[in-house]
Amino acid sequence: MAGGHHGYMGWWGDMGGPKQRGIVTYSLSPFAQKPFAGALYNAFFNTFRRVSSQAIYVVVPTALFGYLITSAQERNAYLYTKAGRHELELLL
């Protein structure tokens, strides 16, 4: 705390130390950036990739359920025919 500074070294960027050399900083103007560049293109293919990776978990059970429902409806319709009632009487 020499000189009565009480720990204050200077304003930000001028802390009293040696000047830094060899550090280059680049920045891009916000007007030059394209935040939505390729957003629709990437959204389409990303959605396709995600849906296709999960399709097996949806398609297989749906197909199985559809097959079971169709088979059950056909069996029920058969049991309400004359031959179906006769077959059901033989089973009971």
Greatest mean pLDDT among 27-31, 32-36, 66-70, 85-89: 66-70
pLDDT per position as a tens digit, 31-68: 777 878 888 888 999 999 999 999 999 999 999 999 99
**pLDDT confidence band for 1 (50 / 70 / 90):** very low
Residue 65 maps to a domain: yes
Q: How many domains, in total, are found in the chain?
A: 1
Residue 66 maps to a domain: yes
Cα separation, 92 vs 87, in Å, equals 9
Residue 24 maps to a domain: no
Chain-wide mean pLDDT for the chain?
Answer: 84
Cα separation, 23 vs 63, in Å, equals 63
Give the pair of three-digit tokens for residue 53: 């990776």
Residue 5 maps to a domain: no
pTM above 0.85, yes or no: no
Residue 88 maps to a domain: yes
Residue 8 maps to a domain: no
Residue 6 has pLDDT above 80, yes or no: no
Give the pair of three-digit tokens for residue 32: 């030059």
Residue 92 maps to a domain: yes
Range of the domain at 82: 56-92
